[in-house]
Chain A
Amino acid sequence: MSAPGPDPRRAEIDRRVLDWLRSADYRQDDARFEALARDLFAFQFEHCAAYGSFCERRGVTPATLRDWREIPAVPTGAFKELPLHSFPAECEIKRFRTSGTSTAKPGTLHLDTLELYEASLLPTFRRHVLPDLTADARLAIRVLAPSPEEAPESSLSHMFGVVVRELGNEHSGFDVSKGELRCDSLYAALEGRAAAGEPVLLCGTAFAFVHLIDDLERQRVRYRLPEGSRLMECGGFKGRAREIPRSELYARLEDGLGIPIEHMLNQYGMTELGSQFYDSVLAQPTELRRKLGPPWARVAIVDPDRRTAVASGDVGQIVVYDLANTGSIFAIQTADLGRPVGDGFEVLGREPGAEARGCSIAADAMLGERSS
């Protein structure tokens, strides 16, 4: 970790954001969000030249801004094209790269501090994945992803590294190495915790869990992990494993691991974001499953052409406004579809096997094929 960049305005914004991230105040404080969003936008407008120019072309400047929802969002694809950061290049201490599985070229997130990322991650993770555990509790966390040492440019591995470091006990570890799921080490750990009657948290990418159920079914192994065990999956499938609907994935994981579906959740995040969103199923088990995030990160579901919020229940494009992104860009336009659900949202994927209306292949699919 390092101190934030040398700019005093940035340091002050970071301090104010960190105050919120580290406080116990998890309320949707609109005034606090608005004030920080305005100041952060003004800073990034001035200190990231490409972003400032982009906003001017959209006719939005700090002087004209009426509402934080007007702040122009940068598409995630732009991180493949441009170094989008709001600090001098020499202050960079870390870079994360996107997986590059859906297009040929990976994107890059440049960081001058990891402090905000980690300060945003931990309270949100605790709240949504471990809501029933005391603040000082640690448990066995098995990660179906490579370790941060093996994948230093993966934000996912970094995230899991922080989670294991801060929340895991001595039985925690990483069970993907050199691109392979290490079933032997994973099964040994699961059997140990099952014998001890201690719950396990399994974390990993969706495609890693596909490989896991394939192996469990091939070996005809079924676990009944202790009560309180849970599973968090994140990420998509594209180009990495065969794509199966999430409902089927969860049902087969329940069968193979003995973790009830209501203890399985999806995390929605991406390299370009400092904060993540989680299924509400553990934090609010009696309410409708939806994605919730921390109060310092907001989501808007917008009409892709008009850029205005869609009505509740309608489908639109997901735009994320994340105060933890102080060093890069606050407003991120994703390529994902979502639907507002109450105080949260639902992420919609393309149904595997859905038919196209035409016979043209979108060039991104073709390029994705090349890279996979």
Chain B
Amino acid sequence: VKAAHIGEQLAALREAGALLRERPPEATLIALADVLDSWRDPASTWRRALEAELPSVSGFSPEVVREGLRLGLEPWTGDALRALLAHEIGPPSGGDGRDFVSGFDSTAVVLAGAIPMTTLLALIAPLALGSPVLAKTAAHDPVTARHIARSLAERDPLLGRCIACVDFPSREDDCVEALLAADCVVAFGSDETIASIRARIAANRRLVAYGHRLSVAVVDPTRLPEDALRDAAARLALDIALWDQLGCLSPVAAWVIDSDGRAAPRFSEQLAEALAELAVKLPRGRVDPAAGTLASHERADAEMRAAAGAAVTIHTGSDGGWSVISESDASVRPAPLHRFVRVHPVSDRAALHGALAPLSRHLAAVGLEGFGNATRDAARELAGLGASRICGLGHMQSPPLSWRHDNRGVFPPLARLARLEDPR
């Protein structure tokens, strides 16, 4: 791909976008809702094609891709899209006629990672506002964006003209410059990537950036019967296994309220049993040597601490395919990902707040279990730490469309909003 080609694509997209904005917004919304509903259908051509192609390019196992898509797409209905747009922006042709909402003339989406749910919403949201999209595909997933683009074109040729995908290495500066000439830029990636993009965009241009995040689980087993605790561990294991713990909604560690020194180790055992079962049902995908080395290093580190007398227990699959480290204290430790989870004891909610404080700048979701009547208070404290989702275990990988990713709404950051005020 040459920079000039990207410039031409942006120009063509702007032309198509103008046509898109000329037609009633309801028509676009109906088409997008249909596309979402079709992606939810396991028999849809596009879903099946993605399930077939994504494993080899991304490294995820076919089982993880299938189950991740099934659970992730479940709440993403066409109706949910309509409801969210109405809630955040107002009905397409409703209101008192004094609010004006428009998408940008063009939106560039810089994709990252290989988790397709992020890509789907990132491409559909600007279109719902009438903004055409130029997507730079991620190195580990060149397929999802293209399948989404084809599904849009099949349902609605004009929408098909309003989306294009480009694929070039991020080090090609002239291509990056051409891409960032879009009127609005949505970027996903590490803090380093986001900083690099931010530095290239003029201050008066719209940049909607989503940096890398992490999630955790918090469990209070005090009032949970044994069966319920085992079930909670199984649901947490699913949250960990999906997308091999690489997503920002994947829990990297669990904190367990533990007043007698037994609850956290017990929960660790149950979690280990559940991860062992999932290793068969949802096999872990490819692990690059760097990630394997980090996990091996952290396991050996835990072994050394245990050997020195710390109350640390290591549970691990025979091939290193999963690891649960039952820690002796609440301190945050490195998270190698790829199904490596630590379980920390913590004495009470006040101590929990202190333990999670170092994560606050990067916290995304918290899976919460066992807090009963204290759930709302605990959630308030977690929200104060920066969490944008607080949900039950087993649901961490299936956020609603309305999830306030990075504590923001979905549509307002992508829109130009104005209101004609009443005469005074």
Contact = CB atoms under 8 A, between A and B. Distances in A.
A337 B248 CA distance: 25
Contacts of B30: none
B134 to A, nearest CB: 19
Given A81-B305, A359-B112, A364-B334, 16 more contacts: A75-B300, A77-B298, A82-B304, A82-B308, A304-B289, A305-B296, A317-B296, A353-B171, A355-B170, A357-B246, A358-B243, A358-B244, A359-B188, A359-B248, A360-B214, A363-B332
Interface stretch (B5-13, B149-157, B354-362): B354-362
B275 to A, nearest CB: 15
A367 interface: yes
B170 A360 contact: no
Interface string A324-367: 00000000011111000000000000100101111111111011
A269 B400 CA distance: 49
Given A51-B307, A75-B304, A82-B305, A362 B293 contact: no
Nearest to B305: A81
A361 B211 CA distance: 9
Interface string A71-86: 0011111100110000
B375 interface: no
Given A357-B113, A358-B114, A358-B115, A305 B320 contact: yes
B190 A361 contact: yes
B205 to A, nearest CB: 23
Contacts of A124: none
A140 to B, nearest CB: 38
A54 B190 contact: no
5 contacts: A81-B301, A304-B296, A304-B297, A362-B334, A362-B337
A360 B303 contact: no
Q: Which of B210, B215, B306 has the most CB of A within 10 A?
A: B306
A50 interface: yes
Contacts of A77: 297-298, 300-301
A334 B58 CA distance: 28
B293 A304 contact: yes
Interface string B241-281: 00111111010110000000000000000000000000000
Interface string B24-43: 00000000000000000000
B112 A315 contact: no
A194 B215 CA distance: 57
Contacts of B52: none
Given A316-B289, A358-B115, A366-B361, A78 B337 contact: no
B300 A333 contact: yes
B335 A362 contact: yes
B295 interface: yes
B304 A74 contact: yes
A336 to B, nearest CB: 8
Dominant secondary structure at the A interface: mixed
A78 B301 contact: yes
B59 interface: yes
A13 to B, nearest CB: 23
A172 interface: no
B214 A361 contact: yes
A371 to B, nearest CB: 11
Given A53-B307, A357-B114, A358-B247, A370 B358 contact: yes
B333 to A, nearest CB: 7
Interface string B306-346: 11110000000001100000000000111111000000000
A61 interface: no
B283 to A, nearest CB: 14
Interface string B351-373: 00000001101100000000000
A271 interface: no
Interface in B182-216: 188-193, 210-215
Interface in A155-194: none
Contacts of A370: 358
Q: Give chain B's interface residue range (CB within 8 Å of chain A).
A: 35 or more
B118 interface: yes
B297 to A, nearest CB: 5
Contacts of A54: 303-304, 307
B228 interface: no
B253 A360 contact: no
B305 A337 contact: no
B374 interface: no
A57 interface: yes
A360 B358 contact: no
B112 A362 contact: no
A44 interface: no
Contacts of A304: 289, 292-293, 295-297, 320
A359 B297 contact: no
A363 B304 contact: no
Contacts of A358: 113-115, 243-248, 250, 337
Nearest to A77: B301
Contacts of B362: 361, 366
B307 A356 contact: no
Contacts of A333: 296-297, 300
Nearest to A339: B289
Interface in B107-142: 112-115, 118, 138-140
Contacts of B333: 363
A50 B212 contact: no
B294 interface: yes
A359 B406 CA distance: 12
A357 B320 contact: no
Contacts of A335: 293-294, 297
Nearest to B196: A353
Given A317-B289, A333-B300, A359-B115, A305 B319 contact: yes
Given A358-B246, A360-B245, A50 B214 contact: no
A260 B274 CA distance: 57
B307 A73 contact: no
Nearest to B285: A357
B420 interface: no
B308 A81 contact: yes
Q: Which of B188, B191, B211, B214 has the most CB of A within 10 A?
A: B214
Given A82-B308, A361-B190, A366-B362, A355 B140 contact: yes
A337 B139 contact: no
